[in-house]
Every structure is written in structure tokens, then in C-alpha cells.
């Protein structure tokens, strides 16, 4: 039987490691602070933000959620971000995506101070990642590296394949694996013979946003498969095909009207992989945990800067 890589367990380990750091900051009069900007009414975004706010409360991190209307302009968002950049009790700023269509997402993300960019999306922090310099790393790829480390899965010298080239997951994931001395291939929807390329991977990271795209023909026998996909499907025929051996998941669809599936076929990965992350309960919990880790690290850096003697 393959090993199930439990993201909830690793999340709890990450959060437990943060608790004494938060307590030390708080006892020194410097409670870490996170500001979340949630524009509009996207249901998925609202769920993610609730999870992040709950994690802050559990750790003792101060959080505030700003909820401008979905009619907000780019200029108004930029003014809001500028105000948060200037507030000394805000260590981290998270702009929840997607933004409303009239807002210029790139300009808004670029406006976040690199020191408060707990998502790791600012070009300065992306440059630090490319150069292997310290700085906040994008939360989902960083969480995956923590997962591999916690389970003792070797990365150095391995062939790793990342399916997907997004700025949020695919590209930073490839860089983190490369820094860990894997030989990395990035592939995507335009890759010729995608299945054959994926079969080269001893570590396969699926981040395409396509329900159950990765079937047995994509998976090298004995591979470690990391499923980043979070796809909510409502079509009963599609669900019956994907969950053909999982009546409990079909029962979820019947009860709720939708069911969650990753980018990897759940039956095929169970048959072919040596280890894999389930959906739900795999990568998802790690993203929030690493956001908390980035926020605490930002607060520690801010505390160090304030404690440093002034240079005349």
C-alpha cells in the first residue's frame, strides 16, 4: 500500500513550532500582525480567508480582514495597500486572489512592501528565491518542501517533474526543488507527449487545475506524487468516472451537490505511487501553515530592525 502524506499532521507540526516564537514576540510587546484584503464575494476566497483568520487566532497572531466592495478600483486598492504598508503593527499583508476583474492584480501585488509580502509574490522576493537568498517563499511550494522533509523523502539527485507553470505554484516549486538539488522538468498544457514527460518523475507535482488529469499513464511506478489541485466538480457523470471506486466521495456529491478532487486520479495514484498527498487533507492545510510561518518571520525581522541601534 502506498504511504499517504498527511498534510494535516505536518501543518500541526509547523504550527506547534511557531507557538513559542509568537509567545516570545508577544512577551516582548510585539504581537505579530497580519492584514488580509478580501475584495468581492468569491465563495472560495471567503473560505480561505476564514481558515487563515482562524489559524491566526489559534496562534495568537493579530489579524484584521478588510473587505472593500467588489466595485473597488485599482487606485482605491493601491491607496489601501499604501496605508497598510505604513502601519507599524502590520507585519504581513495578504491580498486574496482573485481580485474583481476591473482591478489590476499585478499593480496591486507590486504595491505590497516586499518586507510585508507574506505570499512571496513581490518581484524582489521572487528574485531572492531565484538567487537562493533568504526571504518569504510562496506558501504552497514551501509547504510541499516541508512535507517532503517531514516524511524523510529524499529530493537531492531525484528526477522531479512539475506539471504547471503558474507564478504561484509551478515556477517557485521548480526553483525550490532545484535548490534542493533535484533535476527538474517543468511541463504544461503545450508540452508534447505530456504523459511520457511526467513518467520520468520520481517526484511528480501536479498543479494544472484540471480535475483528475493525471492518470496511471502519467505516473512512474513507485513515484512520490504531490497533488496541488483543488477542483470542485458538480457533474455526476464526471464524478462517477473519477470516483468509480470511492462510493463515499459520490455520497458527498449527492449530499452537498459538489465534491472536491485534485489534479490526480485518486484511484490510479493509489495503485501506482509509493506515496501521495490526498485531496482534501494533503497540500491544502500546508498553505495556511506556511502563511503563518511567513508572518511570524516578518514580525521577527521587524522586531530586529526596531531593536537595532540607530546609525548616525
Residues sharing a CB contact under 8 Å with residue 288, sequence separation 6 or more, in sequence order = 11, 48, 51, 52, 55, 139
pLDDT tens by residue, 161-196: 999 999 999 999 999 999 999 999 999 999 999 999
User: In Å, how far are 38, 133, 166, 274, 306 from 4, measured between CA atoms?
Assistant: 33, 32, 26, 9, 44
Q: Which three cell numbers stand for residue 210?
A: 484540471
Q: Could you say which architecture CATH assigns to the domain 28-115?
A: 3-Layer(aba) Sandwich (3.40)
Half-sphere CA count of 308, side-chain side, radius 13 A = 9
For each of the chain's 312 residues, which pLDDT tens digit applies?
A: 899 999 999 999 999 999 999 999 999 999 999 999 999 877 778 888 899 999 999 999 999 999 999 999 999 999 999 999 999 999 999 999 889 999 999 999 999 999 999 999 999 999 999 999 999 999 999 999 999 999 999 999 999 999 999 999 999 999 999 999 999 999 999 999 999 999 999 999 999 999 999 999 999 999 999 999 999 999 999 999 999 999 999 999 999 999 999 999 999 999 999 999 999 999 999 999 999 999 999 999 999 887 776 554
Q: Do domains 28-115 and 139-284 have the same CATH topology?
A: yes
Neighbours of 181 (CB within 10 A): 12
pLDDT of residue 307: 77
H or E, element range at 302: helix 284-307
pLDDT of residue 185: 98
pLDDT of residue 40: 80
Round to whole Å and give the CA distance between 151 and 198.
22
Is the pTM higher than 0.75? The answer reads yes
From the number of C-beta atoms within 10 Å of its C-beta (0-12, 13-18, 19+), residue 138 rates as buried
pLDDT of residue 45: 81
DSSP state at residue 73: -
Round to whole Å and give the CA distance between 268 and 68.
43
Mean of all residue pLDDT scores within the chain = 95
Q: Are 75 and 102 in contact (CB under 8 A)?
A: no
172 closest CA partner among 108, 222, 228, 244: 228
Q: Are 292 and 18 in contact (CB under 8 A)?
A: yes
Round to whole Å and give the CA distance between 97 and 65.
14
271 is an active site residue:
no
52 is an active site residue:
yes
Catalytic residue among 91, 96, 158, 171: 96
Round to whole Å and give the CA distance between 145 and 90.
27
pLDDT of residue 280: 93
Q: Which three cell numbers stand for residue 220?
A: 512512474
Backbone angles phi, psi at 93, to 5 degrees: -125, 125
Q: Are 186 and 225 in contact (CB under 8 A)?
A: no
* Residue that the C-alpha cell 504561484 belongs to: 168
Q: Are 263 and 140 in contact (CB under 8 A)?
A: no
Q: Is 224 helix (H, G, I), strand (E, B) or coil?
A: strand
Q: Are 144 and 226 in contact (CB under 8 A)?
A: yes
Round to whole Å and give the CA distance between 129 and 134.
7
Catalytic residue among 117, 119, 263, 268: 119
User: In Å, how far are 24, 26, 28, 63 from 20, measured between CA atoms?
Assistant: 6, 10, 12, 18
Annotated domain spans of the chain: 28-115, 139-284
Q: Which three cell numbers stand for residue 229?
A: 489541485
119 is an active site residue:
yes
Q: Are 122 and 131 in contact (CB under 8 A)?
A: no
Catalytic residue among 52, 116, 158, 171: 52
The matching CATH number, chosen from 2.40.50.100, 3.30.460.10, 3.40.50.720, 2.60.120.260, for 139-284 is 3.40.50.720
Neighbours of 172 (CB within 10 A): 25
Amino acid at each position: 500500500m502506498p504511504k499517504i502524506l498527511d498534510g494535516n499532521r505536518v501543518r500541526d507540526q509547523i504550527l506547534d513550532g511557531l507557538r513559542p516564537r509568537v509567545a516570545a514576540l508577544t512577551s516582548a510587546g510585539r504581537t505579530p500582525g497580519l492584514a488580509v484584503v478580501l475584495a468581492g464575494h468569491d465563495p472560495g476566497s471567503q473560505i480561505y480567508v476564514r481558515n487563515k483568520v482562524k489559524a491566526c487566532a489559534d496562534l495568537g497572531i493579530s489579524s484584521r480582514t478588510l473587505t472593500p466592495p467588489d466595485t473597488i478600483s485599482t487606485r482605491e486598492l493601491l491607496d489601501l495597500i499604501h496605508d497598510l504598508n505604513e502601519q507599524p503593527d502590520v507585519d504581513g499583508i495578504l491580498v486574496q486572489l482573485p481580485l474583481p476583474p476591473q482591478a489590476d492584480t499585478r499593480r496591486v501585488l507590486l504595491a505590497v512592501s516586499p518586507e510585508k509580502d507574506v505570499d512571496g509574490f513581490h518581484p524582489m522576493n521572487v528574485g531572492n528565491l531565484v538567487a537562493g537568498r533568504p526571504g518569504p517563499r510562496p506558501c504552497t511550494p514551501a509547504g510541499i518542501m516541508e512535507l517532503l522533509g517531514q516524511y524523510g523523502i529524499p529530493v537531492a539527485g531525484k528526477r522531479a517533474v512539475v506539471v504547471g507553470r503558474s507564478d504561484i505554484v509551478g515556477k517557485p516549486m521548480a526553483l525550490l526543488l532545484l535548490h534542493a538539488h533535484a533535476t527538474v522538468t517543468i511541463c504544461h498544457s503545450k508540452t508534447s507527449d505530456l504523459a511520457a514527460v511526467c513518467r520520468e518523475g520520481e517526484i511528480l507535482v501536479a498543479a494544472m487545475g484540471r480535475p483528475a488529469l493525471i492518470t496511471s499513464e502519467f505516473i512512474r511506478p513507485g513515484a512520490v506524487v504531490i497533488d496541488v489541485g483543488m477542483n470542485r466538480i458538480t457533474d455526476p457523470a464526471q464524478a462517477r468516472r473519477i470516483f468509480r471506486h470511492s462510493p463515499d466521495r459520490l455520497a458527498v456529491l449527492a449530499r452537498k451537490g459538489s465534491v472536491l478532487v485534485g489534479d490526480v486520479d485518486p484511484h490510479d495514484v493509489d495503485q501506482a505511487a509509493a506515496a501521495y498527498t490526498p485531496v482534501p487533507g494533503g497540500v491544502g492545510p500546508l498553505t495556511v501553515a506556511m502563511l503563518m510561518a511567513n508572518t511570524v518571520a516578518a514580525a521577527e525581522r521587524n522586531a530586529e530592525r526596531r531593536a537595532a541601534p540607530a546609525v548616525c
